[in-house]
């Protein structure tokens, strides 16, 4: 059937986790295809922390095993130790990107935490006519979030070419490629209002049945690029009117979150907004950002802490 081969394009996140030959095995270790010791897990933990800032908890052993198993298979290694030795032997090996791609979690959805898009739309009305609006979507995953921002802009300005741009970045090159294609399984659109689906997507026919593609006008509003929030230099320049950094801070420890927030602050316009995920309150950064509620923040006034009343 025509859908064959489409799943790789429209797969929302990643291939399903590799399965162990669980069958009748009493212990996972006995059933494993590859040797994986606690020391290997610790090595993975420290490498992904160094490279991506991602803090993996003790409970993530099975997740690490299943996500990296595909890489061992592809490269013909029999143990995690061999794989990690090979990885560490060359600090610039392209395998590092594969390693990172395998370990990121890319869960996302169109209009996830929908209230944020409503708040942005209200603010756009206030900004309108004043300047070209710039939005940075800092962990854009497979693209649903930046395209939701693009839809919000088109609606707010009642124009297919609003005076605005969205820069969408992510560390994971696989999800960026999916985002750039802008092709999604129809199931990904189930919670999007039918009016928006009609207006902003082209339904696939023939070989593309079951998929939808974002309209070229929407695609043109977003530019995608790889950016690691941990890198010492970011290939973006401010000022941004809005920074979306949602559902990625949870993977970082508090000092890493703090360093990123310190770097966001000067990139955000004085009247700009910072959006974080629903479980990512910036309680440890109140000198930098002031909460407006609903995990939306604005810059504190220079030199003043969170309790300072605004002029």
Ligand X SMILES: C[S@@+](CC[C@H](N)C(=O)[O-])C[C@H]1O[C@@H](n2cnc3c(N)ncnc32)[C@H](O)[C@@H]1O
Active site residues: 67, 170
Q: What's the rounded Cα separation, in Å, for the pair 68 and 28?
A: 16
Contacts with ligand X: how many residues (CB under 6 A)? 24
Answer whether 119's CB lies under 8 Å from 158's CB.
Answer: no
Choice between 61 and 104, CB closer to ligand X: 104
Minimum CB–partner distance for residue 235 and ligand X (Å): 12
Q: How many residues are there in the chain?
A: 311
- How far from chain centre, in Å, is Cα 290? 24
Locate 112 and state its tokens: 């996830």
Q: Which residues of 254-279 are buried (b: 16+ CB within 10 A; e: fewer)?
A: eebbeebbeebbebbbeebbbbbbee
Binding to ligand X (CB under 6 A): which residues in 62-101?
A: none
Which of 40, 98, 145, 241 contacts ligand X by CB under 6 A? 145
Answer whether 34's CB lies under 8 Å from 77's CB.
Answer: yes
Locate 12 and state its tokens: 């929302």
How is 16-72 classified by DSSP, letter by letter?
Answer: PPPPP--TT-SSHHHH-SSB--HHHHHHHHHHHHHHH-----GGGHHHHHHHHHHHH
What is the enclosing helix (H) or strand (E) of 216? helix 216-219
Choice between 37 and 225, CB closer to ligand X: 225
CA distances from 294 to 118, 120, 183, 236, 291 (A): 11, 12, 30, 27, 8
User: Which range, of 42-50, 137-145, 285-293, 295-303, touches ligand X by CB under 6 A?
Assistant: 137-145
Choice between 228 and 286, CB closer to ligand X: 228
Choice between 180 and 287, CB closer to ligand X: 180
Contact characters 28-67, ligand X, x per CB under 6 A: ------------------------xxx-------------
User: Which range, of 76-84, 90-98, 169-177, 235-243, touches ligand X by CB under 6 A?
Assistant: 169-177
Minimum CB–partner distance for residue 165 and ligand X (Å): 18
Contact characters 225-254, ligand X, x per CB under 6 A: ---xxx---------------xxx--x---
Which of 171, 214, 222, 276 contacts ligand X by CB under 6 A? 171
Minimum CB–partner distance for residue 126 and ligand X (Å): 24
**Site for ligand X, rule CB under 6 A:** 52-54, 104-108, 112, 139, 141, 145, 170-172, 175, 228-230, 246-248, 251, 277
């Amino acid at each position: 059937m025509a859908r064959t081969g489409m799943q790789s394009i429209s797969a929302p996140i990643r291939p399903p986790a590799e399965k162990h030959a669980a069958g009748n095995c009493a212990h996972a270790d006995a059933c494993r295809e590859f040797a994986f010791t606690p020391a290997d897990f610790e090595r993975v933990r420290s490498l992904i922390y160094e490279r991506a800032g991602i803090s993996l908890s003790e409970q993530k052993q099975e997740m690490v095993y299943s996500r990296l198993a595909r890489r061992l298979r592809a490269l013909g290694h029999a143990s995690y130790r061999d794989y990690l030795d090979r990885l560490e032997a060359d600090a610039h090996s392209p395998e590092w990107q594969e390693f990172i791609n395998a370990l990121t979690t890319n869960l996302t959805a169109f209009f996830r935490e929908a209230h944020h898009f409503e708040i942005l739309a209200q603010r756009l009305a206030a900004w309108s006519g004043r300047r070209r609006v710039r939005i940075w979507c800092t962990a854009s995953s497979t693209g649903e979030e930046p395209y939701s921002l693009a839809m919000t802009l088109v609606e707010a300005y009642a124009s297919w070419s609003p005076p605005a741009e969205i820069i969408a970045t992510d560390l994971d090159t696989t999800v960026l490629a999916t985002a750039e294609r802008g092709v999604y399984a129809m199931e990904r659109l189930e919670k999007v209002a039918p009016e928006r689906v009609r207006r902003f997507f082209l339904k696939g026919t023939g070989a593309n049945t079951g998929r939808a593609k974002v309209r070229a006008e929407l695609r043109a509003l977003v530019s995608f690029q790889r950016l690691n929030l941990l890198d010492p230099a970011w290939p973006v320049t401010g000022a941004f009117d809005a920074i979306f950094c949602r559902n990625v801070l949870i993977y970082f420890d508090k000092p890493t979150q703090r360093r990123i927030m310190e770097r966001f602050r000067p990139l955000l316009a004085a009247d700009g907004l910072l959006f974080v995920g629903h479980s990512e309150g910036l309680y440890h950064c109140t000198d930098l950002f002031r909460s407006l509620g609903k995990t939306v923040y604005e810059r504190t006034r220079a030199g003043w802490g969170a309790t300072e009343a605004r002029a």
